[in-house]
Amino acid sequence: MPPKAKFTKEEIIEAALEMVRNEGFAALTARALGTKLGSSARPIFTVFQSMEDVQQAVVCAAKTLYKEYIQRGLSDTPAFKGVGTQYILFSVNEPKLFQLLFMGEHTDVPELSAVLPIIDENYEEILSSVKVGYGLSRETAEKLYRHLWIYTHGIAALCATKTCRFTGEEISTMMTEIFIGLLKSLKQN
């Protein structure tokens, strides 16, 4: 009979997520996680097969938290601006998790047209908010989404790395100005 787990899977994931939130993904080691739990590393491995499994669970937990931000954005009016604002807020409130999800190096470098579906599981839902909200074709909506993501990601990266700080009003104004300019340009083409 296997040994009884000292910690639940959820307790381990929560402790690991908290570590990553505060110290970054590189700080997540078996020894450090055991210490955070007030134990050795051994009890972790009665629940998880490996640290890679723990790391994957933390990435999933971070994605779940990020999805909550996106859902709040999609419920705003206009939804697409709400999504961009929430993306930036996620980078401000959860800078280490933002870096984990959106600023890591990739082994395969995708083409620009493929990057968003690869890095964001919410892609189709966000794209739909652009198509429906502004009466655009899929192709035009994708162009608009890509351009605005690049701009929004730049702001978010500046926030997540504490390179620059913006007020909510500044973010709203910048996003509106760039959106109006892009939309006008795309509709003329």
**CATH fold for domain 9-48:** Arc Repressor Mutant, subunit A (1.10.10)
Domain ranges of the chain: 9-48, 76-188
Question: What is the pLDDT at residue 98?
Answer: 97
Tokens of 149: 């993501």
Give yes or no for a contact between 12 and 54, defined as CB atoms under 8 angstroms apart.
yes
Distance CA 75, CA 183 (A): 21
Distance CA 73, CA 55 (A): 27
Question: What is the pLDDT at residue 6?
Answer: 83
Question: What is the pLDDT at residue 2?
Answer: 56
Give yes or no for a contact between 17 and 58, defined as CB atoms under 8 angstroms apart.
yes
Helix, strand and coil content of the chain, in percent to the nearest 5, comes to 75, 0, 25
Residue 19, burial from CB neighbour count under 10 angstroms (0-12, 13-18, 19+): buried
Question: What is the pLDDT at residue 108?
Answer: 84
Regions of the chain with pLDDT less than 50:
1
Question: What is the pLDDT at residue 1?
Answer: 47
> Residues for the chain: how many in total?
189
Question: What is the pLDDT at residue 176?
Answer: 94
Question: What is the pLDDT at residue 7?
Answer: 87
Question: What is the pLDDT at residue 5?
Answer: 67
